[in-house]
Structure 1
Amino acid sequence: MRNEDLLALAVRLTVAAAAAINAIRAAGFAVEHKRDHSPVTVADRIAEALIVEGLREATPLIPVVAEEAVAAGHGALPGHFPQGRFWLVDPLDGTAEFAEGHDSFAVNIGLVENGRPILGAVALPASGEVFAGIVGIGAWKRDAAGQRPIAARRIPASGATAMVSRRHDHDPRILDFLAARQVVAVTSIGSAEKFCRLAEGAADYYPRRGPTSEWDTAAPEAVLIAAGGRMADWDGAALRYGKPGWRNPPFIAEGLGA
């Protein structure tokens, strides 16, 4: 399959998972906790099953790494992927936001090749928005107004806007980062939505010091890079995917800069 076909598959499955999540949200659900004390719901499990089944049926030769399967001790091990390709799936990114009744949660499906994300799709179930992109080709957004290309922006003359995690927005290192760049507006939200706002040119920075996993960032990083943005760890090195433990270092995502 061409990358365009793989992206279309990822988009279709993120949209289907988003619909399932919205239906569960409307019906009501219970919140459980995993061994690491993070929340999980039936929406996480149903969305993951839908996505994983769809990916395996359409691309049986590409391994699938999905958050809940890894949490349960299942799934492929890093470094054992043929041709260096694998899917990274977060069926409900921002489960804590979802469980608390906030709207900032997402569905992420990214494709990694040789340690870097090459394409990704991110659906925002609460708003009905879908973001997608192929690195080196471009990114787009689809909502009620239709589908259109998106691009990261240069910092406007009025000053930079930052997106930060609702749960880590008081980290002094984040505050120092914002002060050093004379950020004039800060929005605190959860999930991969922050990357999407950078990709569509609505914000300029997303600094992150708190813990994240590779499935949190593979799809939205692909969208951001496809839209012309950048992402690196705090030393300026590109993030690598397929690491033991699936954990990311602290990172900075940004638009086009000044």
Structure 2
Amino acid sequence: MLDILEEAAVAAGKAILDIYHAGPDVSYKADCSPVTNADESAEKIILARLAEAFPEIPVVAEEAVSAGFVPDIEGRCFFLVDPLDGTKEFVGRKDDFTVNIALIEKGEPVAGVVYAPALGILYAASRSSARKAVVSGQKHIGPATVIGCRSRGDRLVALASRSHNSQETISYLSQHGITDYEQIGSSLKFCLLAEGLADIYPRLSRTMEWDTAAGDAVLRAAGGETVTMDGNPLSYGKRNQSSDVDFANPYFVSRGKT
């Protein structure tokens, strides 16, 4: 399965880069978040690949949900897709945007692919194995290297959102005595934790499940964890929430080895 997810992500990434270089058409959703023709083109490619290879597995995809299409996932495994995570970075000509595809089973991300097309880097994970590969020519996936979280030292390095940082996040870092942090866009933050390049990523601002699932899968497979503020693992497939919309995440903290 993972090879098909990788191929779908890389194909979507090529379409994204073509639009990136040509200049995207940008519009705004009801929540004022940007959406581009790259988001839409990439999602069409991914949905077609998944439907062909796994017709029995439903797909929850960001733009489809925005258009009102939500498949029945009750009691089933399903895919979560964000065709272009970090749209603000994409529009702002930053390179830290990604394609995210994850498989969810019983509320847990058990497989995932995160592809950063402008950087030519692909992260992939299945269960207890996480890996990183270089993609050349926008289509050739090179040999994979196994990655893993590093052990935490006395001085922690944190990651924070470039476009969605919050005062709550800054306060969290201060309360935990963390002064070293870097702002990064998209799901790459999970992958940098998984690669052992940082220690903690507190997210005390809004995210949706498709924003986090693939990166979270990579992190968990690399030995890390993502927990809510009450210490429970972040779960997926959240519907009919009394306090928020379907698929919205609560605040969480992702971290490497403790």
TM-score, normalised relative to structure 2: 0.91
- Distance in 1, Cα, partners of 2:91 & 2:164: 18
- In structure 2, the partner of 1:3 is none
The answer to whether residue 63 in structure 2 is matched with residue 68 in structure 1 is yes
Query: How far apart are the structure 2 equivalents of 1:96 and 1:149?
Result: 30
Taking only the aligned residue pairs, the percentage that are identical comes to: 45
**Structure 1 contact 162–203 (Cα < 8 Å) conserved:** yes
Equivalent position to 1:16, from 11, 15, 21: 11
Contact residue 78 and residue 243 of structure 1 kept, 8 A: no
Number of the residue aligned with 1:247: 248
Q: TM-score, normalised by structure 1?
A: 0.91
Distance 1:249 1:78 in 2: 20
Q: Residue in 2 aligned with 1:227? A: 222
Secondary structure of the structure 2 residue equivalent to 1:97: helix
Query: Are residues 1:132 and 2:124 paired?
Result: yes
Q: Choose 184-193 or 117-126, whichever is displaced more.
A: 184-193
Q: In structure 2, how many angstroms separate the alpha carbons of the residues matched to 1:193 and 1:95?
A: 13
Q: What secondary structure does 2:183 align onto? A: strand
In the aligned structure 1, how far is the partner of 2:198 from the partner of 2:226? 14
Contact 1:34 1:40 in 2 (8 A): yes
Determine if the alignment matches structure 1 residue 165 to structure 2 residue 165.
no
Alpha carbons 1:153, 1:255 under 8 Å: kept: yes
- Runs of 5+ consecutive residues of structure 2 not aligned to the other structure: 136-141, 240-245
Written as runs of structure 1 = structure 2, the 5 A alignment for 1:114-193 is 114-135=106-127, 137-143=128-134, 146-157=143-154, 159-171=155-167, 173-193=168-188
**Number of residue equivalences:** 246
Match of 1:89 among 47, 57, 81: 81
| Distance (Å, rounded) in 2 between the aligned partners of 1:193 and 1:91 | 14
Q: Secondary structure at the match of 1:236?
A: coil
Residue identity matched to 1:51: I
RMSD between aligned residues? 1.4
Q: Which runs of 4+ in 1 moved over 4 A?
A: none
Q: Is contact 1:133-1:139 (8 Å) kept?
A: yes
SS in 2 for 1:108: strand
What is the rounded CA distance, in whole Å, between the counterparts of 1:248 and 1:72 in structure 2?
A: 20
Deviation at 1:180, TM superposition (A): 3.5
Contact 2:166 2:205 in 1 (8 A): no
Using the TM superposition, give the Cα deviation of residue 100 of structure 1 relative to its aligned residue in structure 2, in angstroms: 1.2
2:257 — aligned with what? 256
Match of 2:103 among 90, 105, 111: 111
Alignment of 1:33-44 (within 5 A): 33-44=28-39
Q: Name the SS for the 1:140 alignment partner.
A: strand
Whole-Å separation in 2 of the counterparts to 1:149 and 1:181: 31
- Local SS of the residue matching 1:183: coil
Query: Which residues of structure 1 form unaligned runs of 5+?
Result: 1-5
> What does 1:18-57 correspond to in 2, within 5 Å?
18-57=13-52
Q: Distance in 2 between matches of 1:197 and 1:183?
A: 17
- Counterpart CA distance in 1 for 2:176 and 2:207 is 24
1:20, distance to aligned residue in structure 2 (A): 1.1
2:103 aligns to what SS in structure 1?
A: strand
Tell me the equivalent position of 1:211: 206
1:242 counterpart SS class: coil
Is contact 2:85-2:187 (8 Å) kept? yes
